[in-house]
Amino acid sequence: MNSTPEVLAVLGDLLSAADADARGALWQLDRQGRELDANLVRLPPGGEVGEHQENVLDVLLVVLEGGGRLAPGDGGEPLALTPGTVTWLPRTSRRSLTAGPEGLAYLTVHRRRPGLAITRAPAPVAYEGGEAPCALDRVCPECGRMAMESAPVFCSACGERFPDR
């Protein structure tokens, strides 16, 4: 593991260099041995991340461009998301995101989720790697909707094929 600080990305540059139609995860923290996960995500105008719940991790969401709203799953008042807004999403909270007319670009940061590795019994379970943070592999690249199935091939909302499937 590298113990020297380094610049990993300039988020404004990544957003301006991305194709205008690029959506979903535009960047992910990928350093070995890290204790954090971070993702730069863009939703198109009106795009959604359907209601979901993270049971294990608190998530920090920082809006970089555009706007939208975060609807708490408890029926509470939706939260306005504008550039510079920092939102705490406590573990076990239900929420959904909807991009406004300009779309929504945001950064999420959370503790790294350890993944399980299969080992021979009776050896203990080894932790290395991790599953996709925030289930981004289930967000449709076309419409931004979150699929309910764990390995979707096609989006049930717009019919778009998920990449690499």
- For 53-89, the DSSP string reads E-SS--EEEEEEEEEEEEEETTS-PPEEE-TT-EEEE
Q: What value does the mean pLDDT take over residues 133-158? A: 74
Question: Using one digit for the tens of pLDDT, what is the confidence trace for 78-95?
Answer: 999 999 999 999 999 999
Q: Could you report how far apart the first and last alpha carbons of the chain are, in Å?
A: 32
Q: What value does the mean pLDDT take over residues 107-114? A: 85
Q: What value does the mean pLDDT take over residues 14-22? A: 85
User: What does the pLDDT read at residue 150?
Assistant: 72
Task: Considering only residues 68 and 156, tell me which one the structure prediction assigns the higher pLDDT.
Answer: 68
- Residue 23: pLDDT above 90? no
Q: Where are the domains of the chain?
A: 11-114
Q: What value does the mean pLDDT take over residues 16-29? A: 85
What is the pLDDT of the chain when averaged over all its residues? Answer: 83
Report the Cα 162 to chain-centroid distance in Å. Answer: 16
User: What does the pLDDT read at residue 43?
Assistant: 94
Find the radius of gyration of the CA atoms of the chain.
17
What CATH topology corresponds to 11-114?
Jelly Rolls (2.60.120)
Which residues are 47's β-sheet partners? none
Q: What is the pTM of this model?
A: 0.66
